[in-house]
Chain A
Amino acid sequence: MADVTLNRSAAVEAARGDAQGKAANPASPRKLSRGMLCSLPVLLTLLLGFVAPLATVAAYAFATPRSFDVFRSFTLENFETIFDPANTVWTSFVWSLALATATVVLLAIIAYPIAWGLARVFGRWAGFVSVLFVFPLFVSENVRLYGWSLFFIKNGVLDGALKLIGMAGPDVLYTPGATLFGMVYVYLPFMLFPMVLGLAMVPKELVEAARDLGASRLMIWREIELPLAMPGIMIGMLLTFVLAVGAVAESKILGGQSVIVATHDIEIAFTYAQNWPLGSALALILTVIVGVLSLVAISRLDLDRILGRR
């Protein structure tokens, strides 16, 4: 008997609990969840500081050229100007994309062995080497680039030193090559560290296991190390590409405007030319190109794995 009453009261308890649960549920959507509430400041900042300016730029891109009547006129004239083959604006885009691509490829080749060393070989020296690579970041980019221009300039460090031993220095400053050099130099850490992260993610045991199963070094690299380190490498490539496409100081200081990159065109449009709509259209095109590339790359990445959530 006692058992039965006990069971019954338990059932009543359960039913009551259920009812409370149901009563509590409809109330919850009205209140913001705690996560939403906490992220609100960040969301607002992003909205005001990132989305709003971007929307303004997008709006300006469709305004009458050489005017400031944004939101009052709609025209595709700015884009026509840009895509008109008679104008040479498109060449700056080609230069920007070509220089950025070359930077990414060169950096991948240069950074991989260093990253491999940092992740696998250097051991307790890895920290020191990392600091050496980070250190230049404490000095302004422009200052460093002017330093390099002193290095490459006629009668500068390189040219002067070569003349001392009776050789003519190469004429490298103010060429697209110098621009490329500057980009590779400035963005090396941004390729290197994600790459180290990627390589560090490859468990040593997997490499040992592959070797134990008969694989050669090349096979291990192709089948195990590279695919497993790929997320890190991809992040490095994406980061450096985005930075290099948006770079302007290298082409100005080291390239000496021997080639005009897209960002330089945008700057001119907004400043000397006072043609904000054209500048906005240029910026919009560049943003779309970079945005699409980034989305494609990120969609192929497993961010959870990189952040160690899995």
Chain B
Amino acid sequence: MMTAAAHPLARAQASAPPILQLVGVRKTFGDFAAVERIDLDIRDGEFLTIVGPSGSGKTTLLRMLAGMEAPSEGEISLRGQRLNDVPSNRRPTCLVFQSLALFPHKSVGENIEFPLKVKKIAPAARKARALELLRMVRLPESYYGKNVMKCSGGERQRVALARALAYDPEVLFFDEPLSALDYKLRKAMEKELKDLHRESGKTFIYITHSLEEAMVMSDRIGVMQAGRLVQVGTPEEIYTRPSTKFVSEFMGEVNVFEAARENGVWRIEGIEAPIRLALPPSMSGADKAAVVVRPEFMRFVDAPGGADNCLSGVVFNEYSLGSRIQYQVRVGEKTFLLELSRANARKGEGDAALIGWDSADAIVVGT
């Protein structure tokens, strides 16, 4: 999805009534507020990912949406109907647990059929649907009678997914279900999950602490910090226009430095050379700012004036990332991170280097 303003489909989605709506939702455990007054509209059919470090309240938020935890304040509604007091077994939503919560004493088929058995669907119809779902999650039909505990991690993942789909919920919640898988399998499952989202047309709400995972799958990403939703936007928006220092840092390795204005000249703390900053309109007149520059936007320059901002320093570390090379360059007491393609990498450890970036590539946020 492109930015909401540009994409006609996105605009239509944005104006449609939200499937889930959170108004001032708050959850406290004793004196501790796990989730702080969250307002959020979740669009019908979207893939929304909530990212945040552990302890940021994302699991609590999800458990409230799924009905396993009651909000202390605020209102959750589904298609305009208040959901707060509806128990989880009456909600048209389903949660895929981090542990997957498969029933160990039931076979793969019995696990998938469980929600159908609850709905008192005849055994023959149940089995037909289970086999259909096995195909959908790309498991062989022969797995129907298999002991679920004898399945591999990736297979269990698929069984849990099929079981959730058998419930036929309007909204599916995922609580970091891929975190136990190895890197390669996780990458493959991310893409499959995205395909499955498209095929099923259901609303997916996914929780993870990995922004990388969120970027691959989501239509929109919400970033949580200490119980608050600090930014909600498309992956592109979150990547290119992080609203706070926290969001930008959460996006992976970035150069973040505090800058201050003295006598009309901006300087990075601890570095003599002045820098040029393009302050966003909302921050005009500020004397302090955090500057975020992605490593890939920094480069070596040949002479002062080669970029809007130039600083001279010494290369003290070099890491190969395969097709790209990362440099750590020390300027005064600060360390800058540069990421260059192999073709542009022409420095070695210990070399003096002039590094630079253009003002347009820097993101300026409040400190």
Which residues from chain A sit less than 8 Å from chain B, CB to CB?
203, 205-206, 208-216, 219, 223-224, 227-228
Q: Tell yes or no: B239 within 8 A of A by CB.
A: no
The docked-state distance in angstroms from the alpha carbon of A214 to that of B118 is 6
Q: Tell yes or no: B114 within 8 A of A by CB.
A: yes
CB neighbours (8 Å) of B66 from chain A are 212
Q: B191 to nearest A CB, angstroms?
A: 25
Q: Which of B89, B99, B105 contacts A212 (CB 8 A)?
A: B89
Q: A156 to nearest B CB, angstroms?
A: 49
Which residues from chain B sit less than 8 Å from chain A, CB to CB?
66-68, 87-91, 93-95, 97, 99, 101, 103-105, 114-115, 117-119, 163-164, 167
The docked-state distance in angstroms from the alpha carbon of A215 to that of B106 is 15
A212 adjacent to B94 (CB under 8 Å) = yes
The docked-state distance in angstroms from the alpha carbon of A228 to that of B89 is 21
A215 adjacent to B118 (CB under 8 Å) = yes
CB neighbours (8 Å) of B164 from chain A are 213
The docked-state distance in angstroms from the alpha carbon of A219 to that of B67 is 18
Q: Which of B68, B94, B99, B105 contacts A213 (CB 8 A)?
A: B94
Can you report 20 A-B residue pairs in the complex whose CB atoms are below 8 A from each other? A203-B101, A205-B99, A208-B68, A209-B95, A209-B103, A211-B87, A211-B89, A212-B89, A212-B93, A213-B89, A213-B115, A213-B118, A213-B163, A213-B164, A214-B90, A215-B114, A215-B118, A216-B89, A219-B118, A224-B103
CB neighbours (8 Å) of B119 from chain A are 214
CB neighbours (8 Å) of A224 from chain B are 103
Which chain A residue shows the least CB distance to B97? A205
CB neighbours (8 Å) of B117 from chain A are 223
Determine chain A's interface SS by DSSP, over half rule: helix
CB neighbours (8 Å) of B101 from chain A are 203, 205-206, 208-209
Which chain B residue shows the least CB distance to A230? B105
B94 adjacent to A210 (CB under 8 Å) = no
Q: A230 to nearest B CB, angstroms?
A: 9
Q: Which of B68, B87, B105, B167 contacts A227 (CB 8 A)?
A: B105
CB neighbours (8 Å) of A227 from chain B are 105
Q: Which of B67, B104, B114 contacts A210 (CB 8 A)?
A: B114
Which chain A residue shows the least CB distance to B92? A214
A211 adjacent to B88 (CB under 8 Å) = yes
A212 adjacent to B114 (CB under 8 Å) = no
CB neighbours (8 Å) of A215 from chain B are 89, 114, 118
